[in-house]
Amino acid sequence: MRAIRHIAVNVFRESVRDKVLYNLVFFAVLLISASYLLGQLTAGQDVKIIKDLGLAATSIFGLFIAVFIGIGLVSKEVERRSVYGVLAKPVRRHEFVLGKYLGLVLTLAVNIAVMAVALYLVLGYMAWMTPANVQAAWDAPALDPALLKAVFLIFVELCLITAVALFFSTFSSSILSAVLTFGMFVAGHFDADLKNFDQVVASPAAGALARGMYYVLPNLASFDVKADVVHGQPVPWALMGLATGYGLVYIAMLVLAAMFIFSRRDFK
């Protein structure tokens, strides 16, 4: 347990110093702030566009963090052989994997929190500048707490993507892991479409393959409640719970598989 904690803290410390991270967070905050200008340009002065852009920026930049730093977690350590020093210490290999994962989850949580705070600051400024009667016409209040639901599910989705990155990086090179993880992200968003793919294509083999992939790939669309939140549609707690549970189960499977593979491999 102690080892896991120290490894996680070390991941956090290392990634905080990595310039990549600064740049990503900087651009995300910049984009969120810039959305204010766009909000000014559009008629109706609605905060929708700010919320839309802000959540999208959080999600996309979070994805970059998850992939670029997530891949570095394990495959870069193996490629650069820094893993040799750690694994000669009283650390079990699965503890190493788990510590790495938790460290990145911590990094993600802090970064997403920073972006969410930036978003709320822009929205708060917008609300302060806008007369009450105009605000009354908005679908949802500027500082709508429901935004946090969307942010939370983005976080769960990114934790899942990180687990995917971790899984690939336990046995493949960093570049290959990055490609595979991005691929998984894209495919995961179209996952729901795969279910009924057999009705669109003639070949039964392709249909079966699509159906197989539907069950294997994570269904990332289930974490996407951005549009509902922005338009003031209610997001039921049951849906939140279900999506979170689904994410956790998927993450657990990936992390366990990563531990299993990592514990048996040679470091050449």
Partner 1 sequence: MQSAIRTEELTKDYAVGFWRKRPHRALDRLSIDVAPGEVFGFLGPNGAGKTTTLKLLMQLIFPTSGRAEILGQPVGAVAVRRRLGYLPENPYFYDYLTAEELLGYFASLFGYVGPERRRRVSMLLDRVGIGAERRMQLRKFSKGMLQRVGIAQALINDPEVVFLDEPMSGLDPVGRREVRALMLELRDRGTTLFFSSHILADAEALCSRVAILAGGRLTAIGQLSELLAFEIRGWELVVADLRPELIDRLGDVVRHHAEIAPGRYALELTLAEPPERLLAEVLGAGARLVALNPLRDTLEDVFMKHVAEASSHRMTTE
Binding site for partner 1 (CB under 8 A): 2-3, 6-7, 10, 13-14, 17-18, 80-92, 264, 266-268
Nearer to partner 1, 14 or 198 (CB): 14
Q: Least separation, in Å, of the C-beta of 88 and partner 1?
A: 4
CB of 24 to partner 1, least distance (A): 16
- Smallest separation (angstroms) from partner 1 to the CB of 17: 4
* Residue number, 19 or 133, with CB nearest to partner 1: 19
Structure tokens at 43: 């008629």
Nearer to partner 1, 26 or 84 (CB): 84
CA distances from 8 to 60, 96, 106, 247 (A): 24, 9, 8, 21
- Rounded to whole angstroms, the Cα distance separating 63 from 25 reads 11
Of 84 and 215, which has the nearer Cβ to partner 1? 84
- Gap between the Cα atoms of 115 and 58, Å rounded: 6
Measure Cα distances from 120 to 69, 112, 148, 253, 260 in Å.
26, 12, 10, 34, 41
- Smallest distance from partner 1 to CB 215, Å: 32
Supply the minimum distance, in Å, between the C-beta of residue 6 and partner 1.
5
Whichever of 87 and 261 has its CB closer to partner 1, that residue is: 87
Place of tokens 């994805």: 63
